[in-house]
Amino acid sequence: MIDPVTLLAFIPAAIALNLTPGADMMFCLAQGARGGPRPALAASAGISAGSMVHVTAAGLGLGALTATYPGLFDAIRWIGVAYLLWLAWRTLRTPHAAGDHPVVHPSRAFRDGLLVNLTNPKVILFILAFVPQFVDPARPVLPQFLIFGGVIAFGGFFVNGTVGWFSGSLGAALAGNARLERALRRTSATILGALALRLALEGRK
């Protein structure tokens, strides 16, 4: 279905993109620092699931709709901004006992990662710009999008999950001090707020 040479060319390009620090990596970093390694991995899985939704939409041609109608693009973007700000506020206002992480269920972390990814329309526009360079129009398009998207999603899960895991382990080691606990909480909230600001400003480009 996909030429092996094309796939071999795509994999290192996808890995390079996964290793580039971005919003997804910063979100997993914040989730790990606040909730620990397991929520960080769940958030990374949610982001990867969201990426596959975007890839499927792009493969079906729905991404062109978002690019054609800027109003729809902006609506999705501002929903994402509001959600990130709400997560930042929730993180800032939820202290936990010294020496322990707050209870962040992996299912909720997965949901947060999924929604943060889905409400970032830049993701689908990026996929539309990047993946078609490797798609052979003479072959079925949607399966190719899904395979290439799967490579990106798997690589992203591993890279972002690793970052979140180590930030969670570090957070657990430092959370025994109440002052450090507050610093971790404020750092996580600041990262989420910065991601919201970044998403808001991207609409001006």
The tens digit of pLDDT for each residue in 26-70 reads: 889 888 887 888 999 999 999 999 999 999 988 887 656 666 676
In a domain, 13, yes or no: no
Identify whether the C-beta of residue 33 lies closer than 8 Å to the C-beta of residue 171: yes
What CA–CA distance (Å, rounded) separates 118 from 77?
9
Quick one: which of 65, 74, 83 has its CA closest to 203?
A: 74
In a domain, 64, yes or no: yes
Q: ∠ at Cα 180 (178, 186), nearest 5°?
A: 105
Q: ∠ at Cα 192 (163, 51), nearest 5°?
A: 60
Rg (CA), the chain: 18
In a domain, 42, yes or no: yes
What CA–CA distance (Å, rounded) separates 70 from 205?
12
Domain of 56 in residue numbering reads as 35-202
What secondary structure letter does DSSP report for 175? T
In a domain, 25, yes or no: no
Identify whether the C-beta of residue 36 lies closer than 8 Å to the C-beta of residue 171: yes
In a domain, 104, yes or no: yes
Average pLDDT, the chain: 81
In a domain, 12, yes or no: no
What pTM did the predictor assign? 0.76
Q: For 158-197, how does the pLDDT look when each residue is reduced to its tens digit (9 = 90+)?
A: 999 999 998 877 766 655 666 766 777 787 788 778 878 8
Q: What percent of the chain has pLDDT over 70?
A: 82
Q: In degrees rounded to 5, what are phi and psi of residue 191?
A: -60, -45
In a domain, 24, yes or no: no
In a domain, 27, yes or no: no
Provide the domain count of the chain: 1
Q: For 72-125, how does the pLDDT look when each residue is reduced to its tens digit (9 = 90+)?
A: 767 777 887 888 888 888 777 766 544 445 567 889 999 999 998 988 877 877
Cβ atoms within 10 Å of 103's Cβ, excluding its own = 11
Cβ atoms within 10 Å of 129's Cβ, excluding its own = 12
